[in-house]
Structure 1
Amino acid sequence: MRDILLEVCVDSPCGLAAAIEGGADRIELCSALCAGGLTPSAGLVAAAAGAPVPVYAMIRPRAGDFAYSQAELEVMARDIEAARDAGLAGVVFGAVGRDGRLDQSALRLLMARAAGLGTTLHRAFDLVSERAQAIETAVALGFERILTSGGAPTALQGLDTLQETVALAGGRIAIMPGAGIRPETVDTLLARLPVGEIHASCSVAEASPDPRLAALGFQPKADRRTDAGLVRALKRRLMAA
């Protein structure tokens, strides 16, 4: 049996509570998961600082691509410092240049600000043009892990590429599969991937009590919430792997 860590991404106080209740081993703290996750608010960071499990803050100032201006990088650097000041365990970020390669200059700046914190290279990695080169860059920069779906919408769809990525990493950096992982699909992934960490949202669709909220643009048309039962079910499957 493997000891596989479950990281759950959340974007609200309720999601944070549900992930902890369900048995998550680590939290990725975000806002706007509907956009792939953005930097959480100062209030949410403060609420998460007392969590009984490690919390990593997403550092992403806007939706869209991962080619950042100097002004955006300065904001990200301040957000990293705020996560440290709040007492969080780590941060999650990435930067990809217009050439399709990891932006080493931007990442070096952010890694310097993150000294002493845990660091995850997020799914910006799924946009790189050359995975082997990106892994070498991530290793050289000192990232703990790479979160990836194998360049596909879900980890299950990207399974072949994930397997290649794990082999290329060669144990020098953790590869953490994520995107669309559910209790009913995780066994298929684990049968082929010798990984020690899994990332999931463990969320369920939730209808809005007021249809005007989506109509007026106050929330996505398909809203989701973290479900403690799904977290618990996924954790049970990982413990049995």
Structure 2
Amino acid sequence: MTRILLEVCIDDPEGLLAARAGGADRLELCAALAFGGLTPSPALVAEAARTGTPALAMIRPRAGDFVWTPAEVAAMESEIALLRAAGAPGVVIGASLPDGRLDGATLARLLRAAEGLDVTLHRAVDLAPDPEAAVELAASLGIRRILSSGGAARAADGVARLERMMRAGAGRVTIMPGAGVSPQTLPALTGLPLREVHASCSVPLPPPAALVADLGFQPPGARRTDAGRVAAMRAALDALA
């Protein structure tokens, strides 16, 4: 088996260091991973660019669904321009219609803003009622990578849908499983033709001081990227080769 690329999502400078130390091949740069990842700061993007580690920046101006208002689409276009200028070689985008189908018109607009950048379609695709149709639309727009859990909370539980997506995109679109991927859940995915895998490789933050918690400065369940977890994930993938 060809070496499987490991992408690690991070949301702060320490996470950037940990992911690199553990052997991540590529980074997904975010803010607020506790909310699924929002647009990162230009400073984090610039720091990733300085290290030379390939890194794609999330473009998501708020938590929640992916049905964007005109103002939000305009903001995302501006974010793409700002993060391109900060050194991002690629971005992670997504847009949905109210019924869960991909919003082709909004995606096309964001892709125009991201012309020349590497682009991943994010887990907005997991809301789509017809995964094959979603892959076809993405391919028709020129998207070559899709991050998906297979429509499940964990990719290990979405294998059947991931397999359908991989068949639909074969030779055109790389389907990158992500969500709850770890050395422990990886065996559920090994029947798939894996080329890239997305993981957080994180551990829980220590409990905050009482006043920090009382004032809401650290959300429940907050986590941080761990170099040891990254290295373990890299080793588990290498063992498949």
* TM bin (shorter chain): over 0.9
CA distance in 2, matches of 1:179, 1:27: 15
Q: What is the match of residue 40 of structure 2?
A: 40
Q: Is the 8 A contact 2:35 2:63 kept in 1?
A: yes
Structure 2 unmatched ranges of 5 or more: none
Cα displacement (A) at 1:111: 0.2
Q: Is the 8 A contact 1:208 1:223 kept in 2?
A: no
Q: What is the match of residue 146 of structure 1?
A: 146
For residues 94-173 of structure 1, the aligned pairs below 5 Å read 94-173=94-173
Q: Normalising to structure 2: TM-score of the pair? A: 0.96
Q: Is the 8 A contact 1:207 1:222 kept in 2?
A: no
Question: Which has the larger displacement, 128-137 or 214-223?
Answer: 214-223
Q: Is the 8 A contact 1:38 1:63 kept in 2?
A: yes
Q: Is the 8 A contact 1:2 1:239 kept in 2?
A: no
Structure 1 unmatched ranges of 5 or more: none
Q: Percent of aligned positions with the same letter in both sequences?
A: 52
Number of residue pairs the alignment of both structures matches: 240
Cα displacement (A) at 1:217: 1.4
CA distance in 1, matches of 2:129, 2:80: 27
Q: Is the 8 A contact 2:5 2:195 kept in 1?
A: yes
Q: Normalising to structure 1: TM-score of the pair? A: 0.96
Q: Is the 8 A contact 2:4 2:237 kept in 1?
A: yes
Could you list the runs of 4 or more consecutive aligned residues of structure 1 that deviate by over 4 angstroms after TM superposition? none
For residues 190-209 of structure 1, the aligned pairs below 5 Å read 190=190, 192-209=191-208
Residue 50 of structure 1 aligns to a residue whose secondary structure is helix
Q: What is the match of residue 230 of structure 1?
A: 229
Q: What is the match of residue 240 of structure 1?
A: 239
Q: Is the 8 A contact 2:132 2:164 kept in 1?
A: no
Cα displacement (A) at 1:171: 2.4
Q: Is the 8 A contact 1:59 1:92 kept in 2?
A: yes
Question: Which has the larger displacement, 105-114 or 39-48?
Answer: 39-48
Q: What is the match of residue 84 of structure 1?
A: 84
Aligned-residue RMSD, C-alpha: 1.1
